[in-house]
Amino acid sequence: MTHPLYTIADILAATGGSTTLDPSTSINSISIDSRELGPDALFVAIKGDRFDGHDFVDKALENGAVAALVSRGEGEARIVVPDALAGLSDLARAARARSRAIVVGVTGSVGKTTTKEAIRMVFEAAGATHASIKSFNNHWGVPLMLARFPEDAQFGVFEMGMSGPDEIRPLAQLVRPHVAVITTIAPAHLEAFGSLDGIARAKAEIFAGLEPDGTAVLNADHAQLAVLLDEANAAGVTNIVTYGEARGADWRIIEVETAADRSFATIEHAGERHALVLSVPGRHMVANATAALAVAHLAGVEPAVALRALAGFGAQPGRGERRLLGPSERPLLLIDESYNANTASMMAALDVFAAQAAPDGRKILILGDMLELGPQSASLHASLMPAVTASGAERVYLVGPAMAALAGALGPGRVAAHTQTAAEMGDIVLNDLAYGDALMVKGSNGVGLAEIVDRIRKQFEDN
């Protein structure tokens, strides 16, 4: 017999709320979106920057929610608590407290979602696994993902993000991971921290939630490794595993080869060598997969099982996903990197694009601003010039005010167009693209390049 995710009685015990609902009523899904409700759903009326969930409680109940967790309002099917978001966090704590799963937390400036997905794939090959979806990694996303944690899961993987100091610590203390992964340190949200060392210290807040005798898994291929090691020592973390191409890494990446849609590498660990094959190109993807191998080993998953699972690992939408659009004999290749961007991820993506041939046409780039880089923004954007040149792109389109620095570095005649917004760029690009071209789109999510990606897909998939 399948046990429910919760009963109303469980929710009352976790949150201290009050209701007229039958305590034995089952809840099998949790949502904060009245339009996306699973079976036997609890709708949580959290208040965001733009919307207040309390305005949608009636709609959620009309759409089939069994109950709504609210901090105000009257009516049937409501569980009233002082604060709905705090109530969701209380549910998350209850789910974590009852779990006997191996729990992994993932953070980092670059690659955390991709690494989380690689770990998820490996764990799913070994047992029942629950993982964060999309990039639900903030102050409401982590509690929501943790509150959905089934009691019988054997593995849990949770992503944690930040935009400022003291944001990861409370998330880590909620997740309480047995393994804490920090993918890399790069100038993302540099504006809020002032230096890469400051970013490293903020990422190291994940150690505050690490379970006793837990393990930190750290990428060794960046200059802030020493800062992370110091922070781990200060937090009393004694078990540390490193991975990367650096000499001395516990899981060392050697003999990397990348093709148009594949990556191959040899991974050396404890005197043994493992052949890693991925269905996605890029040295950074090899690094993400190697982190998953290290985590799998700590969780007791056999290397053969992990390697077999990773062979099917590919890029996620907005994070390097590749699509061939249109006729098979002369398609348009679209590489979607529209979800995020900083100098590290830009360089990695441009390196992959440099090795990519166009199916039967030109190589084209659409690059959007890298946001939240602070006073160094202009110099960091300009620093992309050698990588853009080396990519072999014949047409370069730039979006956003910060990209003026890259336009200046590239010089007259090298930029096909530069607009302030994605909306302005859409028509320009669609009028230039043709079947046979290879196009990569990359920028920070806030620039809105995903809109251009959607328009390209609609135009070229339908023809």
Q: How many distinct structural domains can be found in the chain?
A: 3
Same domain, 274 and 329: no
Residue 56's domain spans which residues? 6-84
pLDDT at position 193 is 84
- Quote the DSSP letter at residue 164: S
Same domain, 238 and 364: no
**pLDDT above 80: residue 414:** yes
CATH of the domain at 400: 3.90.190.20
pLDDT at position 1 is 46
Same domain, 256 and 202: yes
Query: Beta strand pairing status for 332-337 and 321-325?
Result: antiparallel
Same domain, 111 and 72: no
Q: Which residues, in sequence order, are bridge partners of residue 333?
A: 324, 438
Query: Among 94-103, 318-327, 402-411, 433-442, which stretch is predicted with the lowest mean pLDDT?
Result: 318-327
CATH of the domain at 263: 3.40.1190.10
Helix residue spans in 223-341 (DSSP H): 225-234, 283-298, 303-310
Instruction: Find the helix or strand (DSSP H, E) in which 141 lies.
Output: helix 141-147
Q: Is residue 349 part of a domain?
A: yes
SS3 assignment, position 56: helix
CA-CA distance, 206 to 9, in Å (whole number)? 32
Q: Is residue 114 part of a domain?
A: yes
Q: How confident is the model at residue 191 (pLDDT cuts 50, 70, 90)?
A: confident
Q: Is residue 89 part of a domain?
A: no
pLDDT at position 126 is 97
Which domain-ending residue is among 310, 335, 363?
A: 310
SS3 assignment, position 114: helix
**pLDDT above 80: residue 189:** no
175 close to 209: Cβ distance less than 8 angstroms: yes
Q: Is residue 186 part of a domain?
A: yes
- Helix, strand, coil percentages (3-state) for the chain, rounded to 5, are 40, 25, 40
CA-CA distance, 45 to 32, in Å (whole number)? 6
Query: Among 201-205, 207-211, 344-348, 435-439, which stretch is predicted with the lowest mean pLDDT?
Result: 344-348
Angle ∠(344,347,349) on CA atoms, nearest 5: 105
CA-CA distance, 346 to 442, in Å (whole number)? 7
CA-CA distance, 378 to 382, in Å (whole number)? 6
pLDDT digits (tens, 9 = 90+) for 325-349: 999 899 999 999 998 898 999 999 9
pLDDT at position 463 is 53
Strands (DSSP E) along 139-205, which ranges? 155-159, 179-182
Looking at the chain, the whole-number percentage of residues with pLDDT higher than 90 is 87
Same domain, 21 and 146: no
pLDDT at position 462 is 56
Query: Among 126-130, 228-232, 259-263, 329-333, which stretch is predicted with the lowest mean pLDDT?
Result: 259-263
**pLDDT above 90: residue 319:** no
Same domain, 305 and 329: no
Q: Is residue 397 part of a domain?
A: yes
**pLDDT above 50: residue 153:** yes
Query: Among 32-46, 385-399, 449-463, which stretch is predicted with the lowest mean pLDDT?
Result: 449-463
Query: Among 44-48, 83-87, 226-230, which stretch is predicted with the lowest mean pLDDT?
Result: 44-48
Query: Among 62-76, 184-198, 397-411, which stretch is predicted with the lowest mean pLDDT?
Result: 184-198
Write b or e for each residue in 171-187: b if 16 or more Cβ atoms lie within 10 A of its Cβ, otherwise e: bbebbbbbbbbbbbbbb
C-alpha 256 chain-centroid distance? 24
SS3 assignment, position 67: strand
CA-CA distance, 62 to 170, in Å (whole number)? 34
Four-residue CA torsion sign, 122, 123, 128, 133 = negative
Same domain, 294 and 253: yes
**Residue 60 burial (C-beta neighbours within 10 Å; 0-12, 13-18, 19+):** buried
Q: Is residue 93 part of a domain?
A: no
pLDDT digits (tens, 9 = 90+) for 47-56: 988 889 999 9
Same domain, 120 and 47: no
Same domain, 303 and 352: no
Same domain, 284 and 433: no
Say what angle helices 112-124 and 303-310 make with each other, to 10 degrees. Answer: 120
CA-CA distance, 41 to 26, in Å (whole number)? 9
Which domain-ending residue is among 259, 282, 310?
A: 310
Q: Rounded to two decimals, what is the model's pTM? A: 0.86
CATH of the domain at 75: 3.40.1390.10
Q: Is residue 316 part of a domain?
A: no
452 close to 441: Cβ distance less than 8 angstroms: yes
Which domain-ending residue is among 258, 289, 310?
A: 310
**pLDDT above 90: residue 31:** yes
Structure-model confidence comparison of residues 36 and 462, the more confident one: 36
Query: Among 147-156, 395-404, 454-463, which stretch is predicted with the lowest mean pLDDT?
Result: 454-463
CA-CA distance, 375 to 276, in Å (whole number)? 40
**pLDDT above 60: residue 16:** yes
Q: Is residue 194 part of a domain?
A: yes
163 close to 172: Cβ distance less than 8 angstroms: no
Structure-model confidence comparison of residues 72 and 260, the more confident one: 72
344 close to 187: Cβ distance less than 8 angstroms: yes
Same domain, 106 and 155: yes
Same domain, 181 and 287: yes
